[in-house]
Amino acid sequence: MTMTARPLVHKTAMPGLGLSAGITLTMLSIVVLLPIGALLLKGASFGLTNVLEVVGRERVMASLYLSFKLSLLAALFNLVFGVLLAWVLVRYRFPGKRILDAAVDLPFALPTAVAGIALTALYAPNGAFGSLAQQVGLKIAYTQVGIFIALVFVGLPFVTRTVQPVIEEIEQEVEEASATLGASRLHTLRHVILPMLTPAALTGFALSLARAVGEYGSVIFIAGNIPLRTEIAPLLIVIQLEEFNYDAAAAIGIAMLVISFAMLLAINLIQIVSRRKMGHV
């Protein structure tokens, strides 16, 4: 076997290589790579043992655990509700459907600070939903339930928007074949349709989860921010920065970076496996 070294860039008559590569790499470096590099460098100069000491503190561990746990729960809720919503929006016809479809994107368009104060006003003890909840003895705002609701809100569109195009492309013949072979509708939905949606739904789930773990603006208003109970990890970074503890802030920031990368990696693997199972890679 002869090894021929592949050129870094294949020769072509297409113009603009230098300009487009230059703009791309320069902006990528200044905006993304150098800042993230600065965070990692700060962590390195602080030292691994010190980073681990900060991350191991009770308050930091509690906030990381809280962010992760509630993000997972919110993403699971969005997985189920998002698939249902995508199905309803693609398959059924009913009045107001177009408005409903557009409304799914509202959490993307609405600034997180606006969502935060709106949800707090709604679920606070004197708010419209909060007062209803209080009558049955439930407190939502300033508890973990409130954080969960905010995380559901910001992650709402992801699953629906990834699953919708897949449902649109399902050929009805498949369902007809399943029905002809004697499967009930529920059986077809569970064993024919659902497996087709799984890879897209998992992508949406991953995006929703990643968004929730790092979410700040919509959460801090409704959270109440009680240390060890309703304090999320991004808020701890802000608190450390306000006290000029750059080392501790960097340590928590690195922990969050590692968690989100690990999550993305894990879910990419799950996706590859579920695609293989489906037969089309």
Partner 1 sequence: MSDTALPRPAFRAATDEAPLLRIALIGIAVAGLAVLVFAPLAVVFAEALKQGWSASIQSLGNRDARSAIQLTLLITAIAVPANAAFGIASAWFITKFDFRGKAFLITLIDLPFSVSPVVAGLCIVLLFGANSAIGGWLVANGWPIVFAIPGIVLATIFVTFPFVARELIPVMIEQGRAEEEAAVTLGASGWRTFRTVTLPNIRWALLYGTLLCTARAMGEFGAVAVVSGKIRGQTATMPITIEMLYNEYLSVAAFSMAALLTALALVTLLLKTILELRHADQLAATRRH
Scan residues 83-112 and list those touching partner 1 (CB under 8 A): 84-85, 87-89, 92, 94, 96, 98, 100-112
Task: Provide the minimum distance between the beta carbon of 195 and partner 1 in the complex, in angstroms, as a whole number.
Answer: 17
Task: Provide the minimum distance between the beta carbon of 5 and partner 1 in the complex, in angstroms, as a whole number.
Answer: 10
Instruction: Verify binding: residue 148, partner 1, rule CB under 8 A.
Output: no
| Segment lying near partner 1 (by CB under 8 A), choices 55-63, 136-144, 147-155, 270-278 | 147-155
CA distance 231 to 14: 53
Task: Provide the minimum distance between the beta carbon of 58 and partner 1 in the complex, in angstroms, as a whole number.
Answer: 21
Instruction: Verify binding: residue 20, partner 1, rule CB under 8 A.
Output: yes
Q: Is 280 helix (H, G, I), strand (E, B) or coil?
A: coil
Instruction: Verify binding: residue 129, partner 1, rule CB under 8 A.
Output: yes
CA distance 217 to 111: 8
Nearest CA to 218 out of 151, 143, 139 is that of: 151
Instruction: Verify binding: residue 3, partner 1, rule CB under 8 A.
Output: no
Instruction: Verify binding: residue 199, partner 1, rule CB under 8 A.
Output: no
For residue 232, give Cα distances in angstroms to 62, 69, 183, 219.
Answer: 8, 11, 47, 8
CA distance 235 to 218: 12
Instruction: Verify binding: residue 210, partner 1, rule CB under 8 A.
Output: yes
Of 3, 6, 135, 279, which one interacts with partner 1 (CB under 8 A)?
6
Instruction: Verify binding: residue 115, partner 1, rule CB under 8 A.
Output: yes
Count CA atoms within 13 Å of residue 27 on its CB side: 5
Binding mask 244-263 for partner 1 (x = CB under 8 A): --x--xx--x--xx--xx--
Name the token pair of 80: 């189920």
Q: CB nearer to partner 1: give 143 or 221.
A: 221
Tell me the number of residues near partner 1 by CB under 8 A.
110
Q: Is 201 helix (H, G, I), strand (E, B) or coil?
A: helix
Instruction: Verify binding: residue 221, partner 1, rule CB under 8 A.
Output: yes
Task: Provide the minimum distance between the beta carbon of 279 and partner 1 in the complex, in angstroms, as a whole number.
Answer: 20
Task: Provide the minimum distance between the beta carbon of 108 and partner 1 in the complex, in angstroms, as a whole number.
Answer: 6
* Subset of residues 35 to 64 that bind partner 1, contact rule: CB under 8 A: 35-39, 41-42
Q: CB nearer to partner 1: give 52 or 103.
A: 103
Of 119, 151, 197, 202, which one interacts with partner 1 (CB under 8 A)?
119
Identify the burial level of 230 via C-beta atoms within 10 angstroms of its C-beta, where 0-12 means exposed, 13-18 middle and 19 or more buried. buried
DSSP letter assigned to residue 5? P
For residue 44, give Cα distances in angstroms to 30, 95, 114, 128, 254.
Answer: 20, 58, 37, 49, 10
Instruction: Verify binding: residue 10, partner 1, rule CB under 8 A.
Output: yes
DSSP letter assigned to residue 7? P
Instruction: Verify binding: residue 146, partner 1, rule CB under 8 A.
Output: no
CA distance 265 to 273: 13
DSSP letter assigned to residue 6? P
Instruction: Verify binding: residue 197, partner 1, rule CB under 8 A.
Output: no
